[in-house]
Amino acid sequence: MLTGLTLTQARAGLTTRKFSARELAQAHLDAIGRLNTALNAYITVLPEADVLASADAADARYAAGTQGIMDGLPIGVKDLFCTKGVRTTAASKMLADFVPPYESTVTANLLNAGAVFLGKTNLDEFAMGSANINSAFGPTTNPWKRKGDEATALVPGGSSGGSSAAVAAGMALAATGTDTGGSIRQPAAYCGIVGLKPTYGRCSRWGTIAFASSLDQAGPMTRSVADAGLMLEAMAGFDAKDSTSSNRAVPEFHKAVGKSVKGLRVGIPAEYRAPGLPADVVAMWEQGIAWLKAAGCEVVDVSLPHTRYGLTTYYIIAPAECSSNLARYDGIRFGMRKDAPTLDGVYEATRAAGFGQEVRNRILMGTYVLSAGYYDAYYLKAQKVRTLIKRDFETAFETVDVLLTPTAPSAAFAQGENMDDPVQMYLNDIFTVPASMAGVPALSVPVGLNDAGLPLGLQVIGKHFDEETVLSVGGALEAAAGFTHVPSVHAGAGA
């Protein structure tokens, strides 16, 4: 089944001409046609003629032996990356009709590597959310169902929920995501796929619509750990247009998968054993520890004492940066405009009509913590605590090679649950936020199902710019888990 392949398998099939890039693209377009109405994973699907033309060009390169590392591989693009000539909405009414005249660096890199774009995937508006329910184009539905309960629709996680649902359901071989506080890793865990947040600066942010600039980072969402490495190779690289972009060489990440992890020291942070953590999550974590011990790793208890402040700090810094970044949407230069008798009236009417409730909430929070009289008490103090969180990770990595934690405190929950309790919604990111605050790479790997038949993920956190060790350990977990379960909506879409 062509829509059930990994990137690595599809690349091998294209190389040996077992099937063509056109056949692969058509199979995914057909899957989107069958499933997208129910799942709402894509906001915009590219015209079939354009997708097939890209596939035909890839076939020509395979025939000539000049193919790139992503050539002919059909993928989804989170609708936060600007794509030249293709509508880019950030899942917001504010940008509902925005067609960028330029290509983001990450998507340009993927196109240069030969990737075939299928369309733009759904997300929480401006990447603000953990359940993909804050989209102006409607929520995305997780392709997984609870055992014995086909009626209840589950969230796919967020903000990259459209990307995770598309990959899990066989509507793309892989997809791009962005991660500000867990928006690649948490939806990957909820949908039973692999999600990698690289080190901050590994992938360019240029042309990616900004939420919180000191945290936003692009990364791959795939069906296997090796696929994540392969796709990151294509996405990453120095970009002079992004002042935070790292000028480090890009390794062959996919070759790290399958390397022996014997002798590596794996840290288990005491602070991640949160009170009330569900028994199935704890059991899966303990199983992951046992698998790594069996693979020859040494397991070490470590402490990250300032982790408990991570979520609080994040929800000061991220909204502050959001309020600054989103000030540009004023109805004057681009995006939606609502006319009013005065200039202030234009601002107010445009932003009230263009932004959803969650975005407005975060702008208000951010403006408050940056306001005179509160800047020192909140924002400045949060920046100091962020430094302490980063220092905790650096201290831990003096004695261990990676950390192992759960990705999320639960499996996917139902649409509508927790919606009236924003604090509970924010707690979905409790295990992912600290790595984002520190800027270190982190990988979510699906390792099994809970009693309700829903996927659970474990998170591997590594040192700055050491994605290779993270991928090696993730590959060892993947091999030990043998996770092959797939959502009922698409048998054959698993890793």
- Active site members: 78, 159, 183
Bond prior to 159 in cis (omega within 30° of 0): yes
Which long-range CB contacts under 8 A does 348-352 form with residues at least 24 apart? Answer: 350/94, 351/94
CB-CB contact of 384 with 404 (8 Å):
no
Give the DSSP letter of residue 269: E
Chain position carrying tokens 């069958």: 34
- Strands lying side by side in the sheet with 42-45: 42-45, 116-121, 74-78, 174-179, 217-222, 194-197, 442-449, 455-462, 402-406, 265-269, 298-302
Helix 381-396 to helix 310-325 angle (10° resolution) is 130
Pairing of strands 298-302, 265-269: parallel
Within a 13 Å sphere around the CA of 15, how many CA atoms are in the beta-carbon half?
A: 11
- Rounded-to-5 percentages of helix, strand, coil across the chain: 45, 15, 45
Q: Please report, as a single letter, which amino acid is at residue 184.
A: I
CB-CB contact of 303 with 271 (8 Å):
yes
Give per-residue burial for 124-139: e unless 16+ CB within 10 Å, then b.
bbbbbbbbbbbbbbeb
Q: Please report, as a single letter, which amino acid is at residue 176.
A: T
Q: Please report, as a single letter, which amino acid is at residue 412.
A: A
Run of H or E including 45 = strand 42-45
Which structure tokens are listed for 168? 């899990």
Within a 13 Å sphere around the CA of 370, how many CA atoms are in the beta-carbon half?
A: 16
Give the DSSP letter of residue 307: G
